Amino acid sequence: MMKTRNRVRLASVAAISSAALFASAIPTVFTGAANAAVKYTTGQQLGNDSGAICKKTGKAVKDLQVAYIPPSSVYNYYLAIGAGVKKLVEGAGAKYYMIAPPKDDVSIQLGMIQDAVTRGANAIVMNTHDQQAATPVIKAASDAGVSIVIINSDIPNFPTPVQAVVGYKQRAGDKKVGQYAVKAAAGKPVKFGVIEGAPSYFTDERVGGWLAGVKGAKNFKKVASVNGEWSIDGGNKAGMDLLQANPDINVIFAANDYMAQGAAQAAKALGLKNIAIYGSDGDSNSGLEQIASGALKATLDTSPFSMGQIAGQVTLDCLTGKYSGGKFVETPGVVVDKKSVFGILCKPAQLVPAPNKKYSCKG
């Protein structure tokens, strides 16, 4: 049984209109099983027939099998989500396992989805960086009776029907990071570069959110945008390219914390000390600890461990008839800077991977 101290860390999320993203709003509150102690709120119905009804198994929770298949095992962020799913699912008495490609390769991931079906998984919690390529295999898994929960996303129209999409609103979240940057600049001239992820829905939403956040700020001028391939090494190369070609850049937004950390390494290597670098995700090492050290200015903390717990609860509720299916479940996303980061880092039990050292809650 999970105790009260293991309840998810939730934070308020600014409300925005979602009429353009989702077909309709059906607010319903579900309370998870008593031994899991996780609550969540279902939101909008997934649009364009992309929402699927849950398939109640009729099995006892102890007989349920949940597979977690992230894009790759190289991303600490997805390992943190997996730790949350594992904590919830095993805490409720069900079986859990993770399988993941050693590198971000959708062809390997698709084989693992097929393996999970063969092994008898009742549900798959997953994300993929190539939705179109994954769609036929995900549909085949669903047709075989496996419930599909998409994690770390807010996509309103997944290419094939799924039981749930669980995640934060990326565009709205990174818009808040952009608005924070405008306020932090205090009217001073800003020339900014953007480090995008690989072309995808995620890149479009995150970068689009940042640009919406700085839109209208007359002191902000976009200089260039480079693909950082979602990784620290990619962010380092992109940062080097941006800063060497445009030495007047004084702000960088990276679409995830790994690329932001890489950009910070590039700025340091070039001897540049006055570059404000912003990330997105809330990765404990690449995001939160980088803010604590002063390498990053701020990030959007999306609490991946908590997101995983919520996804785990949604999955079990789907399999046991407590959740009907076909809806978006929103998780928190808040801007964190040096003033607020220590209050998170000082509680390592909810951070995966753990911080590299102990932190005082007062900084």
Average pLDDT over every residue of 18-33: 31
**CA-to-CA separations, 199 to 20, 25, 202, in angstroms, rounded:** 22, 29, 8
Long-range contacts of 266-270 (CB under 8 A, 24+ apart): 266/235, 266/236, 266/237, 266/238, 266/239, 266/240, 266/242, 267/239, 267/243, 268/295, 269/240, 270/240, 270/243, 270/244
Q: What order do you get walking across the sheet with 164-167 strand by strand? A: 24-31, 39-45, 327-330, 164-167, 147-151, 123-126, 65-69, 95-98
Residue 88, pLDDT > 60, answer: yes
Asked if the 171-301 domain carries CATH number 3.40.50.2300, the reply is yes
Architecture of the domain spanning 19-167+304-331: 3-Layer(aba) Sandwich (3.40)
246 pLDDT tier (thresholds 50, 70, 90): very high
Residue 71, pLDDT > 50, answer: yes
Residue 127, pLDDT > 80, answer: yes
23 vs 33, higher pLDDT: 33
Residue 38, pLDDT > 90, answer: no
37 pLDDT tier (thresholds 50, 70, 90): low
Average pLDDT over every residue of 15-21: 28
Contacts of residue 329, defined as CB under 8 A and 6 or more positions apart, other chains included, come to: 40, 41, 42, 43, 164, 165, 166, 167, 310, 311, 314
* pLDDT for 5: 30
The four Cα atoms 149, 155, 161, 163 give a dihedral, to 10 degrees, of: 30
Average pLDDT over every residue of 116-135: 95
* pLDDT for 49: 75
* pLDDT for 350: 82
Amino acid at 355: P
* pLDDT for 12: 29
What is the rounded distance in angstroms from the CA atom of residue 84 to the CA atom of residue 7? 11
* pLDDT for 45: 83
Domain ranges of the chain: 19-167+304-331, 171-301
55 class by beta-carbon count within 10 Å (0-12 exposed, 13-18 middle, 19+ buried): middle
Would 19-167+304-331 and 171-301 be classified into the same CATH topology? yes
SS3 148: strand
Average pLDDT over every residue of 298-316: 96
Residue 190, pLDDT > 90, answer: yes
Q: Is the dihedral of CA 99, 105, 106, 108 positive or negative?
A: negative
* pLDDT for 346: 96
What is the rounded distance in angstroms from the CA atom of residue 184 to the CA atom of residue 202? 25
Percent of the chain with pLDDT over 90: 79
56 vs 188, higher pLDDT: 188
What is the rounded distance in angstroms from the CA atom of residue 236 to the CA atom of residue 352? 23
What is the rounded distance in angstroms from the CA atom of residue 77 to the CA atom of residue 258? 9
